[in-house]
Amino acid sequence: MCRPVYDHTREGLDSIIAYCHANNIIVFPVTPRDGEFFKSPWEPNSRRHYTGYDTLASRTGGRWFYLYSSDYDSLASAIGREIIGQKCCYLLRYETDNFCTASNIIRVGVVSEAETLGWDTRNYIPPCPGRSTPFVPYPCGGITTCERQEFKFVFDAENDVFQLDSLTVSIDVNGLVYDISSDELSFADSVIIFTPLHAFADGETVCVRIANACDTFGCPVETTSCCAIIDLSPPVFYGLSPAPGSVVNIDTANIFVYIYDSLAGVNWDSVGRDNVSVYVDGGLVDFDLIVEPPKVSIHLSQGAISEGEHTVLICIRNIIDKPDYDYCPPNNSDTCWSFELLKYRGPIASIIRPLPNIVSACVNQDIIIEVFDSDGVDSSTILLVVNDDTFDCSSPYLIYKSDTLIFEPPDGYWHDGETVHVSLIRAQDIHGADLEGPLSWSFYLDFSPPIADMTVPIDSAVVLDINQDIKIRVNDNLSSVHLDSSYIDVMGLRISLRELLLSSSADGRDAVIYFSPGRINGRWYPGDTVNIYVHVCDKPDTCGPNCADYEFVFFLPQSPECARFPNPFTPDNDRINDFVYFRFPMIMYYPADIYIFDMKDVMVRHIEVPSGFSAKEFARWDGRDDSGNELPQGVYVYIIVSRGEVRCTGTITLAR
């Protein structure tokens, strides 16, 4: 160069050397010798004496060339030795310029993608001879249905510089090498074409690569390989149902087929009703198609099939696979199969016992169902569900004979208050025809008698009402109360509960019985112990009834005779004989009035005695008049009046 490209400092030189090392750059400087450099007047003297180019060459692996005596061939040879083996080809050329007087100039630049290092240089990036790129099949690695799949590679380079030398081209196909003389290999318009003369094998993976190719400069062409999988097999059908040639009943016939393709896979988007035909005895029939890959199901309408035996033919056509390329049409396959279809009425079931919604009191209640079919019932197909238990005829508790299905439960199987749900969920005839309508119903179990409770008066009560009525409530949890077979016995008098019915619920499970003493002798009497015996039964629909006996009692206290005590009495607040107490017939049963007179026949005190248990507390005198004044000692007369009549009279002695 006429002058150095880099500054004269050590730091500047070190920085460019570091850059070259980092980017694998080899520098071949072509410069004057030390002291021959051009220096501008404003530059320091160090610019004239500069040896940095020699250091730059040796530190980067290159070589320094003297500008005025080194020849171009030596420079080109040195560079060539360094770049030998690289993929790109370098065209070394030089230009002359009169920039430096009477001298030829070789301009060599250092170039990176980000910046150009050098001043007043012409930079040259050498072209590469290009590469061969596969474009058929595209993209590589897919599945093709072509048995003679072509492979094409296009040559991409700077065509004004490089051209492919077709004589150098050879390809490798799964280890077999073909050159341009082979019939399978051709070249046109920068395209290398491999056309196989023989078919590839089904399932074979074919890999093609350019084994050798050079341009007209002798530079090797960069190549890649391309592979494809050969799929020559159509989709297959398996798991045909019903099996070809089989005999099935329409109730149990499941028509379906599975479709599978091992390589490209089935093109499920193309599977529809147009691919399927269903013939019954030679005639086309309608159907519903359900596609659930890999399964295709066909549903026939029972209404379109008459009773009897029929030949069904199922045909599925033009099922295609789904290759990755459209160079060849997809593989396709068809299938047809037939079977015999039977349509007969299945068994008919009817309930014998227990009937729906009845209440049973049978602790070993059996279940009997008539199951009839004119062609005969296949007993091995019978399934009976009782609550959560399922029974078939292998169970010792379920028997089928003479068109009758009998369930005999083991001891303790049923429970009081249980709701039993029964379902005959399956029974087929000998042709496999299903039950004509599954049978389901419920019934109830009641092993407990009604409950009786005396509500008026309460049991064991002491009552003061000589006209006391009796009310008894009778209820049952499931069955109604059997009023005609239930009775009440009061003081030896037995009466049907129906005669005494006061009220009843709509379902008859709850009843209130009313009894009046007027049915015996008009009233109760003081001192009576009234015993009530109740016999109650329910009214289940079968077995029973459930019965129970109950006993209730109530009491009326004794009625005293006329009496007063103590006599005399001493009301001096010493808590001893401070009161005189009166007794009279029917005390507590009826209210009464006690009148007390002195010996002058003047009433000094009036005492009101209510009925009830507190009567005895009121029927007493404390020796005072109605104003609360203490009366003098002496003899006094009392009169007791009740229900408008004088019940008792007598005298009392008051002492102080």
The per-residue pLDDT for range 251-271, each reduced to its tens digit, is 778 999 999 999 999 999 999
In a domain, 22, yes or no: yes
Asked if residue 632 lies in contact with residue 597, where contact means CB atoms within 8 angstroms, the answer is no
Out of 52-66, 78-92, 322-336, 565-579, least confident range: 78-92
In a domain, 150, yes or no: yes
pLDDT given for residue 115 in this prediction: 44
Asked if residue 438 lies in contact with residue 471, where contact means CB atoms within 8 angstroms, the answer is no
Gap between the Cα atoms of 425 and 350, Å rounded: 13
104: pLDDT strictly greater than 70: no
Asked if residue 394 lies in contact with residue 423, where contact means CB atoms within 8 angstroms, the answer is no
CA atoms within 13 A on the CB side of 406: 11
pLDDT given for residue 121 in this prediction: 47
In a domain, 401, yes or no: yes
In a domain, 5, yes or no: no
Out of 58-62, 100-104, 186-190, 449-453, least confident range: 100-104
Nearest alpha-carbon partner for 341 in 377, 296, 298 = 298
35: pLDDT strictly greater than 70: no
- Is the same domain home to 253 and 336? yes
pLDDT given for residue 516 in this prediction: 93
Q: What does the pLDDT look like over 488-516, one tens digit per residue?
A: 999 889 999 999 999 999 999 999 999 99
In a domain, 432, yes or no: yes
Is residue 656 helix, strand or coil? Answer: coil
pLDDT given for residue 110 in this prediction: 44
- SS3 percent helix, strand, coil of the chain, rounded to 5, is 10, 40, 50
**E strands, 41-103, in order:** 65-66
Domain that holds residue 320: 236-343
In a domain, 123, yes or no: no
pLDDT given for residue 159 in this prediction: 59
Q: Put residue 63 in one of left, alpha, beta given phi > 0 → left and psi -120 to 50 → alpha.
A: beta
Asked if residue 407 lies in contact with residue 395, where contact means CB atoms within 8 angstroms, the answer is no
The CA distances from residue 511 to 60, 451, 461, 469, 539, in Å, are 120, 11, 22, 16, 13
- Is the same domain home to 504 and 427? no
Average pLDDT of the chain is 87
Gap between the Cα atoms of 586 and 569, Å rounded: 24
Q: What does the pLDDT look like over 619-642, one tens digit per residue?
A: 999 999 999 999 999 999 999 999
- Is the same domain home to 503 and 550? yes
- Is the same domain home to 435 and 518? no
Where is the domain boundary, 555, 579, 606?
A: 555
pLDDT given for residue 112 in this prediction: 42
pLDDT given for residue 85 in this prediction: 64
- Is the same domain home to 504 and 578? no
Where is the domain boundary, 493, 523, 555?
A: 555
pLDDT > 90: percent of the chain: 62
87: pLDDT strictly greater than 70: no
46: pLDDT strictly greater than 80: no
Where is the domain boundary, 445, 475, 493?
A: 445
Report which of residues 326 and 67 the model is more confident about.
326
- Is the same domain home to 74 and 47? yes
pLDDT given for residue 27 in this prediction: 85
Gap between the Cα atoms of 602 and 630, Å rounded: 15
- What's 219's domain CATH number? 2.60.40.10
Asked if residue 446 lies in contact with residue 537, where contact means CB atoms within 8 angstroms, the answer is no
Which string of b and e fits 442-481 if b means at least 16 CB within 10 Å? ebbbbbbbbebebebbeeeeebbebebebbbbbbbebbbb
- Is the same domain home to 204 and 242? no
pLDDT given for residue 111 in this prediction: 42
- What's 539's domain CATH number? 2.60.40.1220
The number of folded domains in the chain is 6
Gap between the Cα atoms of 123 and 157, Å rounded: 21
In a domain, 40, yes or no: yes
The CA distances from residue 31 to 14, 22, 64, in Å, are 19, 24, 8
What backbone torsions phi and psi does residue 431 show, to the nearest 5 degrees? -90, -5
- Is the same domain home to 144 and 157? yes
476: pLDDT strictly greater than 80: yes
Task: Please compute the mean of the pLDDT values over residues 142-166 and round it to a whole number.
Answer: 85
Q: What does the pLDDT look like over 223-235, one tens digit per residue?
A: 889 999 999 999 9
182: pLDDT strictly greater than 60: yes
pLDDT given for residue 216 in this prediction: 78
Task: Please compute the mean of the pLDDT values over residues 636-653 and round it to a whole number.
Answer: 92
107: pLDDT strictly greater than 60: no
Model confidence at 160, pLDDT cuts 50, 70, 90, reads low
Task: Please compute the mean of the pLDDT values over residues 79-89 and round it to a whole number.
Answer: 68
- Is the same domain home to 336 and 249? yes
338: pLDDT strictly greater than 70: yes
In a domain, 162, yes or no: yes
Model confidence at 2, pLDDT cuts 50, 70, 90, reads very low
Report which of residues 624 and 438 the model is more confident about.
624
pLDDT given for residue 295 in this prediction: 97
- Is the same domain home to 157 and 97? no
- Is the same domain home to 421 and 438? yes
Q: What does the pLDDT look like over 275-292, one tens digit per residue?
A: 999 999 999 999 999 999
Gap between the Cα atoms of 407 and 368, Å rounded: 6
pLDDT given for residue 329 in this prediction: 97
- Is the same domain home to 545 and 620? no
